[in-house]
Structure formats: structure tokens, C-alpha cells
């Protein structure tokens, strides 16, 4: 028996883009009514600064994703946000502009990403594994490691889409990508440290 299809990422963003362009959409509003999918929407929003081509992008995204990872590890059913974050957000016109820019990519992704193995996403063990990898990748993303923002950002985006679209198959792929990305960054850090020692 197939799980009924809930609105996808593109449909959710389209709905947020409609209305008064000057209205501020708080994180509370953006996450409301999504249930456990709210973790995916929050991760999706938090990972976006990582794609800004300046070092501070990762420094913004990293701690927020670590927070999400910790909440998944302790088994929260929905994300918790401190009030000062919950009341922050984006204006609808900025979200509409982003929606228009990313729509072709999401349209292509929706052919590949779909609800499947959703039972796995509700597993306590899967939640801990996902949470731990978000913590590790969020930490690595926050470090000033050259040329890694897109690497970690892409891996974290896969986690966000898997949670948002309830795609257990994509989550398994995200685990693999996350572990590989973490291993590559560790090797890069060790090589850089050895090079620094040789120079001293």
C-alpha cells in the first residue's frame, strides 16, 4: 500500500511565495503544520547560507544544523527553536525570488525524490544516525576549510530533502555521501597539518 503523497518541496515553496510580498514569514510560520517534515524544511532553510560564496556562509549554517542534529539524536518529534530564532524569517518577496530561481532544479529533483521507505525515517536508530551525521557535517561546514562549503552544503541538502520528502532511499544515500565527505575533509585536514609541520 502506497503512502499518500504530501505536497513536495516545490509546492510548499510556491505556497509561501503567494501573498503580500512585504510580509515577513517567520520560521514559526514556515514550519507550522509540517510535523516531522519540519526538520527537513528547517534544515533546507539553514543550509542555504552555505551556498553564499563567502566564508561566513558556513559559519551561519553549521551551528544551526548542529542544533537540528542534536534534536534528532534525542528523539524530538518536531524541531524546537528558541524564541529569538522562531520569530526571525524572510520577507515573502525574497522567498518568491528564491523560489523562482530554484524551481527548475526542484522540478528535476522531484522526478528522483519521492516518499519511500518512510518507516525507516521514523526509526529511532535512523534518527540518531542522521542526527550524528548532521552534527559532524555541521561542525565541518562551520570550519574555514577552503573549497568545502559546496561539498558539505550539497551533502546536507540531501539530508534536508530526504527529511522533507520522506524519502528513506535518499536518506541512505545521504548517509553514504555524508560519511565520504567527512572522511575526505579529515584527510584534507591531516594533509594540511602535515604540510604546515614541514614548513615549521
- pLDDT at residue 133 tops 50: yes
- pLDDT at residue 2 tops 50: no
Residue-level pLDDT at 1: 42
More confident residue, 7 or 189: 7
- pLDDT at residue 5 tops 90: no
- 27 in any annotated domain: yes
Which pLDDT tens digit goes with each residue over 139-197? 888 877 666 677 788 888 889 989 988 899 999 999 999 898 888 777 765 665 555 45
- 135 in any annotated domain: yes
- pLDDT at residue 62 tops 80: yes
- 23 in any annotated domain: yes
19 contact partners, CB below 8 Å, separation of at least 6: 92
Domain encompassing residue 152: 9-199
State how many domains the chain has. 1
- 118 in any annotated domain: yes
Q: What's this model's pTM, rounded to 2 decimal places? A: 0.80
- 2 in any annotated domain: no
| Residue 20 falls in which region: left (phi positive, over 0), alpha (psi -120 to 50) or beta | beta
Closest CA to 43 of 124, 113, 141, 112: 141
Which pLDDT tens digit goes with each residue over 86-115? 888 778 887 777 777 777 777 777 778 888
Which pLDDT tens digit goes with each residue over 27-53? 888 887 787 788 988 898 888 777 766
Report d(CA 169, CA 69) in Å as an integer: 19
Residue-level pLDDT at 200: 54
Which pLDDT tens digit goes with each residue over 71-82? 999 998 888 888
CA 128 and chain centroid, separation: 16
More confident residue, 143 or 135: 135
Instruction: Give the single-character DSSP code of 19.
Output: S
CB-facing half-sphere around the CA of 159: CA atoms within 13 A: 34
Amino acid at each position: 500500500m502506497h503512502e499518500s503523497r504530501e505536497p513536495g518541496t516545490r509546492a510548499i515553496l510556491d505556497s509561501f511565495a503567494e501573498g503580500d510580498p512585504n510580509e515577513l514569514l517567520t520560521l514559526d510560520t514556515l514550519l507550522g503544520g509540517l510535523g516531522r517534515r519540519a526538520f527537513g524544511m528547517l534544515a533546507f532553510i539553514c543550509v542555504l547560507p552555505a551556498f553564499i560564496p563567502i566564508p561566513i556562509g558556513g559559519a551561519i549554517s553549521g551551528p544551526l544544523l548542529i542544533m537540528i542534529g542534536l534534536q534528532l539524536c534525542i528523539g524530538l518529534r518536531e524541531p524546537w527553536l528558541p524564541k529569538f530564532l522562531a520569530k526571525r524569517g524572510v520577507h515573502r518577496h525574497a522567498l518568491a525570488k528564491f523560489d523562482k530561481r530554484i524551481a527548475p532544479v526542484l522540478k528535476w529533483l522531484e522526478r528522483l525524490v519521492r516518499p519511500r521507505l518512510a518507516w525507516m525515517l521514523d526509526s529511532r536508530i535512523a534518527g540518531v544516525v542522521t542526527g550524528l551525521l548532521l552534527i559532524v557535517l555541521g561542525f565541518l561546514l562551520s570550519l574555514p576549510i577552503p573549497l568545502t562549503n559546496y561539498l558539505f552544503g550539497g551533502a546536507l541538502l540531501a539530508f534536508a530533502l530526504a527529511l522533507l520528502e520522506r524519502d528513506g532511499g535518499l536518506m541512505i544515500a545521504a548517509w553514504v555521501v555524508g560519511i565520504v565527505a567527512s572522511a575526505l575533509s579529515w584527510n584534507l585536514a591531516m594533509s594540511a597539518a602535515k604540510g604546515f609541520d614541514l614548513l615549521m
